[in-house]
Amino acid sequence: MRTQQCSSGESGGAHSGENCSSSGSSGLSPGSDSDSSGVVCGGGGGGGMRGVLSRYWSLESLHSASVIADGSLEKTSDDVGSEEDLYEDFRGSSHHYGHPGGGGEQLAINELISDGGVVYAEALWAHVTMDDQELGFKAGDVVEVMDATNKEWWWGRIMDSEGWFPASFVRLRVNQDEPMEDYPLKLEDGREKDSINAPHRYGVGHTTKDQMRTNVINEILSTERDYIKHLKDICEGYIKQCRKRADMFTEEQLKTIFGNIEDIYKCQKKFVKALEKKFNKDYPHLSEVGSCFLEYQNEFQIYSEYCNNHPNACMELSRLTKVSKYVYFFEACRLLQKMIDISLDGFLLTPVQKICKYPLQLAELLKYTNPQHRDFKDVEAALNAMKNVAQLINERKRRLENIDKIAQWQSSIEDWEGEDVLVKSSELIYSGELTKISQPQAKSHQRMFFLFDHQLVCCKKDLLRRDILYYKSRINIDNMEILDVEDGKDKDFSITVKNAFKLHCRDPEGVHLFCAKKPEQKQRWLRAFENERKQVQLDQETGFSITEMQKKQAMLNASKQNQSGKPKVVTRTYYDFLMRQKHPTLPTNLPQQQVFMLAEPKRKPSNFWQNISRLAPFRK
């Protein structure tokens, strides 16, 4: 199945010929089994209630709107009445209007395709899927769009593979008339293949390189202006109206839902002004915009806070929209602001997508910038800077997810003593079994060790229940030195050791001796301690930190999950988290607006995780 269109044959129904779109908000492709319930005819794909309200507000109730100073429309609460009343009034009326607006760009794409043209898009981030009806790709891949009838899921092709993919995961190429050979083909191992003999999927374009650079410059400016309009609509259309309804929203709720989007709006307004100053109206290809990105690279780090909060915003919106009055209220806000037919959570995804889009735009701009161009070095530096910003945002998001898992792990440990792990640490570096030699009698104890940044936690397995761990001690390793110990007799402990290493402190009594079972295990631990020091140094350089509020919230969530009467055992969830924390993938069973990380394809797990899966803390 590809895409479908239908005509409404019901009496009194909507106009025939409306698009039928599958429920894209479910996160399922139109061809998946879970979507077999059929297609839904609706105004703009927004559902019956959204279509009804759109028609009512656009044609019936705008007559009472008043014009304010800037020429925009404003409606008083007395004129509007309750959102439920508007809906009920229209249900009883006999009017049947077509849905205003629509996807003009989407229609243009389909017209171009139907006329025999070819449309290409670049992947903003990876689409990892196990569904044979979906098209998987990596960030940066070029996809041929073959059908865009469905609003949220398009049909595309890469080489010999075809399938559905989320429309929000890609960005249409600016220079559609460019030969495809300019995009190197990629082999399965990620290396670029010589494209000299690649078949022409386009005729050779006659557009000059300067014109192509002009196209990219124009796209950067136009998308920035559209983005500013989008942010303004959210701030004035939603936040401003929500603050008027103190009976419905607290300030804490608004902070959760909208994050720091108002700060982003202020930053982007200054950024677009800087871009416009650098824009050469007479000769756009001579515009020097690279310096603008370099100037604002630090300001763009405010997106980190927004991206980290976005999952919380989705959860809070999901909770509120279970109550009908919030559904009506948000829809009324959208219609008063004359925004397109997308739900609020979809609008709130845009800043996440925007910060991921900058590296792609700059990469394309650099491609059409001659090395002799005055803007070349700045664009090159800006591309690296924006890649670093996006990488930093993704890394901070991953670390924030880590603290929830660490709190969950700590709550599963019996007889915990002292401060929480999160007081000093935010990431698990390594873990495994070691034999610890203690002074002064050189007693040996087999223990489970967990290496976090700044500290090493020691636990003991239960003799009968191997799936239970008891807290024993911890070592602050900030002032420790790691020493590799040769096999043989150790002079400090006067015993013969094998596969050993020491943690040595300036204090004469601060020497800790550890032995691994195999030489390769010892080497893994030595590398882990080295990585721990690198992580600590990187955190200091980037200024990464976890707020006290975030730490407390993580521990509170963990305590709620660990209900009384249930055994304190680390669930499989934490083990799965450990396996994928370095290589996140995009789940296809989540709504696409909740997915905003730049993902990588699944990778084969290392032998370390296969070995550690047998350990007690990671069993159900």
**87-112: per-residue pLDDT in tens?**
344 333 333 323 333 345 667 777 77
With residue 400 as reference, give the H or E element that holds it.
helix 376-411
**25-34: per-residue pLDDT in tens?**
344 555 544 4
**C-alpha span between 422 and 315 (Å, rounded):** 24
- 274-288, 454-468, 569-583: which range is least confident on average? 569-583
What 3-state DSSP class applies to 364? helix
Q: Which of 447, 407, 412 is nearest to 431 (CA)?
A: 447
The CA-based angle 534-538-542, given to 5 degrees, is 180
**The pLDDT of residue 182 is above 50:** no
350 vs 192, higher pLDDT: 350
**294-311: per-residue pLDDT in tens?**
999 999 989 988 988 888
**310-365: per-residue pLDDT in tens?**
888 988 999 999 999 999 999 999 999 999 888 898 899 899 889 888 998 999 99
139 vs 91, higher pLDDT: 139
- Residue 498 has a pLDDT of 92
Cα distances (angstroms) measured from residue 617 to each of 409, 525, 614: 8, 19, 9
**The pLDDT of residue 139 is above 50:** yes
**C-alpha span between 605 and 298 (Å, rounded):** 35
- Residue 563 has a pLDDT of 56
**391-428: per-residue pLDDT in tens?**
888 787 788 888 889 999 999 999 999 999 999 999 99
The per-residue pLDDT of the chain, averaged, comes to: 73
105 vs 40, higher pLDDT: 105
What's 414's DSSP letter? B
**C-alpha span between 473 and 489 (Å, rounded):** 26
Backbone angles phi, psi at 157, to 5 degrees: -140, 140
Q: Where are the alpha helices (DSSP H) in 60-161?
A: 77-80, 83-91, 104-114
524 vs 595, higher pLDDT: 524
> For a pLDDT cut of 70, what percent of the chain falls above it?
66
pLDDT, mean of residues 432-446: 85
Residue carrying structure tokens 């936040």? 239
**What is the bridge-based pairing of β-strands 161-166 and 153-158?**
antiparallel
Q: Where are the alpha helices (DSSP H) in 321-375?
A: 324-336, 344-367
* 150 confidence band (pLDDT: 50, 70, 90): confident
What 3-state DSSP class applies to 435? strand
**Distance between first and last Cα of the chain:** 41
DSSP bridge pairs for 482: 503
Residues 459, 448: contact at Cβ < 8 Å? yes
- Residue 506 has a pLDDT of 65
**The pLDDT of residue 438 is above 70:** yes
What's 235's DSSP letter? I
pLDDT, mean of residues 458-463: 91
**The pLDDT of residue 592 is above 70:** no
**534-591: per-residue pLDDT in tens?**
999 988 887 777 878 788 888 888 887 765 444 444 444 444 444 444 433 333 333 3
- 69-78, 243-252, 463-472: which range is least confident on average? 69-78
Residues 6+ apart with CB under 8 A from 371: none
Written as one letter, the residue type at 193 is K
What predicted TM-score, i.e. pTM, was given to this entire model? Answer: 0.51
Which pair of tokens denotes residue 481? Answer: 């030195």
Which pair of tokens denotes residue 110? Answer: 């389909």
Q: What phi-psi label fits residue 177: left (phi over 0), alpha (psi between -120 and 50 degrees) or beta?
A: alpha
CA 274 to chain centre: 28
Residues 15, 98: contact at Cβ < 8 Å? yes
Residues 220, 188: contact at Cβ < 8 Å? no
- Residue 242 has a pLDDT of 96
pLDDT, mean of residues 460-474: 88
Q: What phi-psi label fits residue 137: left (phi over 0), alpha (psi between -120 and 50 degrees) or beta?
A: beta
Residues in the chain: 620
> For a pLDDT cut of 90, what percent of the chain falls above it?
38
